Structure 1
């Protein structure tokens, strides 16, 4: 019985955390009167939702945004990734870090920063006189803003795939008379094609799941998407739980299809190694192309990283937006207001950091157990445990939020986390559980398969082998994944907006509300502080991961 206690407990926790919220989305879609304790009117909500004249617009807006972001990410990420692998620019690792920062930046903060820079009378117009308001608040403007955050997934997929493949086969082709371009086009690129397509599909998935950019820019551009429509059905009167559930199912199916195709392509990726040994990395080298390479990489970094961060920081230090860009406008009062005693900002920061810390600890502990059980493959139900643990990676945050509302906002529960900070903690744990599972699983694959059995032969129990042997070896990866969870959870937006109890604010809610209320400077001051904390933690986590894989 003891052998099955841990898997059973883990499966029960995953069911509570992941499976039940999804189940209640299905039930609410099927039975509109479920909240009244009745199963009448089965499927009656589907005709009204599916015949809604807005639905084709919502589906088109979501799909076109996803396809547009995937295409633009390919347009930016493939050339950059290929150059990084084939002709690495000076300080190549530094460029990797710089291109990672936009991906780690909350999209809603990027959207708000671009709005301040490009809107009418924005910073760009004040400095150059250029009018870009109509470009920003359009479908292409929304797609570009999302692309600037998402293109790194394609860049890293392409560059890492080409680096892993090595140059030996391309060099053989060149020895037999092929030009460098012909060798790249016929050998290097086809070998990297699975990673390239998987990166594009991941970019599509991230785009269709995004809420912050469509809510900030798309709403003013007349672009409607499913994520915003779901939030409106839950926030605007009359509340439509069944409609939100049906739209959530449509969004979930869209994201799951792309995610499963991406996993399938990644899982089938195969780069042939003729000698049976890892191929050495032989780069062509920048040579005379060093300056053009630096200019290309610098231009991309300027647009995707420097400009939005500069806009954010300028706003944080300006006394008023209406006063314009003048040295006399510089002030620190927005930052000092954040640390006012018993102020909303300090409370929001404390709430976010405490919830993020709790989510990091819980997901780290649960992720370690799940990854270990999956690696051992000695218990029944391990496939179900693995599937449930990784499922949230394909679920939009708004869907998880809807599921938790439908699950816990029920009168039959004697005790419920709903309308308390615990519901936010549950949502963060569900959203970010796949991160520790993936990182620890990767670390376990690098360990010898005989360590735990050897400990068992010498009298150690399974828990002792895990605690005394496995944990110390995978701890750097586990700690890094927990730090990543902490950094991302500390500024998560969509589930916070959906689930935060009345009177409770997180960092993301505080920033969002400040823009709604017109206190833009204080909102951007908080964004600067949140970015500094999260990026510091993330870069430290990446350093730990790099060190642990050497």
Structure 2
């Protein structure tokens, strides 16, 4: 039931038109800019841009990086997924939270932590003076792959772990009875059943890698490794600006992502298996031998150290060091950098205020629009609501920088009609477009558990649509709305691409403030802001999680 006075047949066209304007028009603008040159159809500009030596090399770099990150994430995730799903290690649920920390950490902050740790006269050299000159091998493609893999492997881990828990133990036991050894059971029984889920995880990791801007910008530039996001950003923000070339590269990136989605749908359609039926799914956890347990604990510890320990240690220590030249020595630690954020500079307070305002505004608007979309889709025929659902979820399928470039070009073109471009408002619009799918998915998840008979009963007893929504529907979906608000708020606090490209002059947010201080040499001040950003994010997550748990079921 809709909580507003809109007829069912009017709600879908109105919302569809609104999201077409908000999402489809910016994407269409990108493609139009690539083929309409001087008011005529011309593909030569697109071809010339792609064939430029630096752009052609960049495209190959991006695809190679994505492939290598998928392989590395797979190697990191498979042992962990097996341990936490098929062995007694599954009882240690604390690891579910610990291995989400790398994902919750903004990638540009983790990358900065690694740079501070590995660089010449860095923290590693101070701990181990014999490693003078830093670790040169880290500042290479290998280091970039490692840092990016440590950020995205939790996606692969979660998907594989959930898939493994749905494989009945009876299948593996049957193969063992027939004489198959462990590795043969893995290759002939276990891994084929994971194909569909693995393809989903691999595609997600690949697209996330192509979409990532923070790590390639902070670490990739140091080694001269350009990728899609850094080149698009350079063409759109660095003189001489070329929106045309940025649009061409963005359209190529969109095309690659869409082809990957098509391939993923084909594989999952033909390689998905129904493993849970009315007979249930019996899962027995294996008790490993003592050497296997020791090896497992060692592996888990190493992954946690390199994924969480090193970047957090570097960021926190750097924020506390008084003089970087003296490093980790007694008496060289201070809290003055934290104090300076609130007393010595207005930029830091302004950045924090802007980030909070953007996060609250974007999360609230997304919660309203996302709930409205889900309610509308639930009240209409399934086929008539598919276009609205597809358009509203479209930003989730595409790299964020593509949507940002599209919004830049589109709102710049209509500036004479709607002068929102180059204002604070355009940042709110961009955040809403980027993060709306999160709310839609969380509210949809809550709605799938509600039977329509509840609303029908409310109508039978004379309840108005508003009354039914307020007393029946809203309490049942409140957790989904709150979860969507929480995720949008957290991600908005750390967003980097949108403000770096679209923020009005002299307008900073937390992410751009950290990047500016890191690049200008005030590293301790930037890392102090990074620590506060992560701490506030974790505190907000814990508070809102506790609040959601208190909501009535």
TM range (shorter): over 0.9
- Tell me how far apart the structure 2 counterparts of residues 221 and 494 of structure 1 sit (CA, whole Å): 21
Correspondence for 2:349: 346
Counterparts of residues 151-300 of structure 1 (less than 5 Å): 151-262=153-264, 265=267, 270-273=272-275, 276-286=278-288, 288=290, 289-300=292-303
TM-superposed CA distance for 1:136, in Å, is 2.2
Deviates more, 1:420-429 or 1:275-284: 275-284
Alignment partner of 1:19: what SS?
helix
1:391 aligns with 2:388: no
Correspondence for 1:36: none
Alignment partner of 2:99: what SS?
helix
Correspondence for 2:13: 8
Correspondence for 2:76: 76
Change (3 A) 1:218 1:394: same
Deviates more, 1:145-154 or 1:448-457: 448-457
Change (3 A) 1:477 1:522: same
Deviates more, 1:232-241 or 1:465-474: 465-474
Alignment partner of 2:328: what SS?
coil
8 Å Cα contact 1:102/1:149 also seen in 2: yes
Change (3 A) 1:106 1:269: farther
Instruction: Select which of 422, 425, 431 maps to 2:425.
Output: 422
Correspondence for 1:403: 406
Change (3 A) 1:337 1:51: same
- Tell me how far apart the structure 1 counterparts of residues 288 and 365 of structure 2 sit (CA, whole Å): 46
Change (3 A) 1:390 1:264: farther
Deviates more, 1:316-325 or 1:105-114: 316-325
Alignment partner of 2:287: what SS?
coil
Change (3 A) 1:91 1:421: farther
Change (3 A) 1:281 1:452: farther
Correspondence for 2:324: 321
Change (3 A) 1:545 1:285: farther
Correspondence for 1:533: 536
Correspondence for 1:51: 51
- Tell me how far apart the structure 1 counterparts of residues 413 and 490 of structure 2 sit (CA, whole Å): 32
Correspondence for 2:505: 502
Deviates more, 1:356-365 or 1:175-184: 175-184
- Note the alpha carbon deviations across 1:447-491, whole angstroms, 9 max, x for none: 334323333444445554444322211211220121011011111
- Tell me how far apart the structure 2 counterparts of residues 274 and 150 of structure 1 sit (CA, whole Å): 29
Change (3 A) 1:275 1:517: closer
8 Å Cα contact 1:148/1:304 also seen in 2: yes
Alignment partner of 1:124: what SS?
helix
8 Å Cα contact 1:32/1:44 also seen in 2: no
Correspondence for 1:144: 146
TM-superposed CA distance for 1:401, in Å, is 1.4
Unaligned runs of 5+ in 2: 1-5
- Tell me how far apart the structure 2 counterparts of residues 534 and 473 of structure 1 sit (CA, whole Å): 26
- Note the alpha carbon deviations across 1:110-147, whole angstroms, 9 max, x for none: 11111000011111122113254422221121111100
Alignment partner of 2:422: what SS?
coil
- Tell me how far apart the structure 2 counterparts of residues 194 and 543 of structure 1 sit (CA, whole Å): 35
TM-score by length of 1: 0.92
TM-superposed CA distance for 1:539, in Å, is 4.7
Correspondence for 1:67: 67
Instruction: Select which of 323, 328, 337 maps to 1:334.
Output: 337
- Tell me how far apart the structure 1 counterparts of residues 96 and 454 of structure 2 sit (CA, whole Å): 35
8 Å Cα contact 1:476/1:544 also seen in 2: no
- Note the alpha carbon deviations across 1:173-196, whole angstroms, 9 max, x for none: 445554455444433332222112
8 Å Cα contact 2:58/2:227 also seen in 1: yes
Instruction: Select which of 16, 19, 25 maps to 1:20.
Output: 25
Deviates more, 1:89-98 or 1:192-201: 89-98
Deviates more, 1:57-66 or 1:363-372: 363-372
TM-superposed CA distance for 1:507, in Å, is 0.3
Alignment partner of 1:285: what SS?
coil
Correspondence for 1:445: 448
Correspondence for 2:115: 115
Correspondence for 2:3: none
- Note the alpha carbon deviations across 1:218-268, whole angstroms, 9 max, x for none: 111111111111111112222111111011001111223334444555577
TM-superposed CA distance for 1:544, in Å, is 7.1
Length, aligned pairs only: 545
Counterparts of residues 536-547 of structure 1 (less than 5 Å): 536-539=539-542
Correspondence for 2:524: 521
8 Å Cα contact 2:8/2:376 also seen in 1: no
8 Å Cα contact 2:408/2:502 also seen in 1: yes
Deviates more, 1:539-548 or 1:278-287: 539-548
Change (3 A) 1:103 1:262: farther
8 Å Cα contact 1:409/1:418 also seen in 2: yes
8 Å Cα contact 2:166/2:275 also seen in 1: no
Correspondence for 1:102: 102
8 Å Cα contact 1:514/1:520 also seen in 2: yes
Deviates more, 1:457-466 or 1:193-202: 457-466
TM-score by length of 2: 0.92
Change (3 A) 1:2 1:519: same
TM-superposed CA distance for 1:536, in Å, is 2.8
Instruction: Select which of 308, 311, 314 maps to 1:308.
Output: 311
Unaligned runs of 5+ in 1: 34-38
- Note the alpha carbon deviations across 1:505-548, whole angstroms, 9 max, x for none: 00000000001111000000000000011123335556777899
